[in-house]
Amino acid sequence: MTRRPLILALLDGKGAVFLGVLAALAVLVPLSNLLLPEASPLHVPTYAVSLLGKYLSYALLALALDLVWGYCGILSLGHGAFFALGGYAMGMYLMRQIGPRGVYGHPVLPDFMVFLNWQELPWYWHGFDMFPFAALMVLAVPGLLAFVFGWFAFRSRVTGVYLSIITQAMTFALMLAFFRNDMGLGGNNGLTDFKDILGFPVQAQATRVALFVATVTALALGYLVARYMVTSTYGKVLVAIRDAESRARFLGYRVEHYKLVAFTVSAMMAGVAGALYVPQVGIINPSEFSPANSIEAVVWVAVGGRGTLVGAALGAVVVNTAKSWLTGALPELWLFALGALFIIVTLYLPKGIVGTLAEWRDKRRATISAKPAEVAAGAAE
């Protein structure tokens, strides 16, 4: 086998299409928003840019979940926790950026702390006035939690539904903790009223477009990282563990180390997704930890097609577009629709959208390649 350049080895057909679409979005959406007049039918309004940015941050969360669920069989029902932690790290930076411009005008303390009569900044808020530190925490906090959680869970060989349940318990426990005012993270109101990011006003049109481009870029990079992992031998071992864990163990693989690497990298990706989500929606509160959010992310991956990466991202965008439309048109129906969607996909599209399309394509190819053989056989007779 000849060695191809890394980028080519990483891109199969659907990967190339995926990155092509992302590149087109990164160029066309900003151009249309900034240059076309608002009356033009091709103009993308600023609210839509942020909405799409939100979907794409969800897509990055779905990608992260697919890495552990699709390739290693770890059904995490708590990935929303890593997303929310990344979001809180970004939220803390944005709060510190407000400075003395809060309602109470305190030079350092965020409004909610002044309201609670706090006298000084809790220790864990220090450093968040610096963007590089906050960016590091976006990766480090979810990564560390996943590492510690995974270390104990995988070493104790907790698998399958038990693992799913404890991941769910983890995000639920965090939600309860973040609801408390004494956590010093804004209690049930969370963090909001952001003003600036890196010195630019968060609400400004140009900032929103820049955040959108940053999200598209992060999604593309996340895809390349995940794709590199799953195409390397590491990815083959992950799939081997998914298919026959004890076989992998008896071949001498340290299954817990392999799972830990995937779980930690995935949690960091989810953290980045959360950090990009927060400035675009303008708020982070404890409901982001709610178990239902994590389960919804699992539905996105299932709908798009697990174990395909591209499918996970597609599923997130498709389901959330449907959600935005349906919660506008018939809000009381959304949860039923989500449940029905999950059942339909499980029963009729177990490989999801992308998996099913790939199957059709393979079948077509098989019949096309079979035909010349028939012709040749006919000619020989």
Partner 1 sequence: MTNAALTNTVLYLDGVSVTFDGFRALNKLSLAIAPGEMRAIIGPNGAGKTTMMDIITGKTRPDEGEVFFGGMIDLTMLDEAEIATLGIGRKFQKPTVFESHTVADNIRLALAGERSPFSALFGARNRIPEERIDAVLSTVRLTEHRERLAADLSHGQKQWLEIGMLLAQDPKLLLVDEPVAGMTDAETAETAHLLKAIAREHSVIVVEHDMAFVRELGCKVTVLHEGSVLAEGSIDAVSANERVIEVYLGR
**Contact positions vs partner 1 (CB under 8 A):** 1, 229, 232-234, 236-237, 239-240, 243-244, 246-255, 257-258, 261
Q: How far is the CB of 231 from partner 1 (least distance, A)?
A: 10
Q: How far is the CB of 228 from partner 1 (least distance, A)?
A: 8
- Distance set, CA 341 to CA 158, 318, 322, 347, 349 (Å): 29, 12, 11, 10, 10
Q: How far is the CB of 108 from partner 1 (least distance, A)?
A: 43
Choice between 115 and 253, CB closer to partner 1: 253
Q: How far is the CB of 241 from partner 1 (least distance, A)?
A: 9
Q: How far is the CB of 251 from partner 1 (least distance, A)?
A: 5
Q: How far is the CB of 311 from partner 1 (least distance, A)?
A: 16
Residue pair 219/19 in contact (Cβ under 8 Å)? The answer is: no
Choice between 133 and 253, CB closer to partner 1: 253
Residue pair 174/81 in contact (Cβ under 8 Å)? The answer is: yes
The residues facing 200 across adjacent strands are: 197
Cα–Cα distance between 69 and 226 in angstroms, integer? 13
DSSP symbol at 289: G
Q: Is 379 exposed, middle or buried (0-12, 13-18, 19+ CB in 10 A)?
A: exposed
Residue pair 280/183 in contact (Cβ under 8 Å)? The answer is: no
Choice between 46 and 308, CB closer to partner 1: 308
Choice between 6 and 335, CB closer to partner 1: 6
Residue pair 291/176 in contact (Cβ under 8 Å)? The answer is: no
Choice between 230 and 353, CB closer to partner 1: 230
Choice between 152 and 336, CB closer to partner 1: 152
Choice between 244 and 343, CB closer to partner 1: 244
Cα–Cα distance between 326 and 55 in angstroms, integer? 15
Q: DSSP 3-state assignment of 2?
A: coil
Q: How far is the CB of 246 from partner 1 (least distance, A)?
A: 7
Q: DSSP 3-state assignment of 190?
A: coil
Residue pair 67/242 in contact (Cβ under 8 Å)? The answer is: no
Q: DSSP 3-state assignment of 283?
A: strand
Choice between 153 and 318, CB closer to partner 1: 153
- Contacts (Cβ under 8 Å, ≥6 apart) of 209: 29, 30, 33, 34, 46, 49
Q: How far is the CB of 75 from partner 1 (least distance, A)?
A: 17
Choice between 37 and 252, CB closer to partner 1: 252
- Tell me which residue of 75, 190, 89 sits closest to 140, measured CA to CA: 89
Choice between 40 and 156, CB closer to partner 1: 156
Q: Which long-range contacts (CB under 8 A, 24 or more apart) does 91-94 make?
A: 91/190, 91/191, 91/194, 91/278, 91/284, 92/125, 92/128, 92/134, 92/137, 92/185, 92/191, 93/128, 93/129, 93/131, 93/134, 93/197, 94/191, 94/194, 94/195, 94/196, 94/197, 94/202, 94/278, 94/279
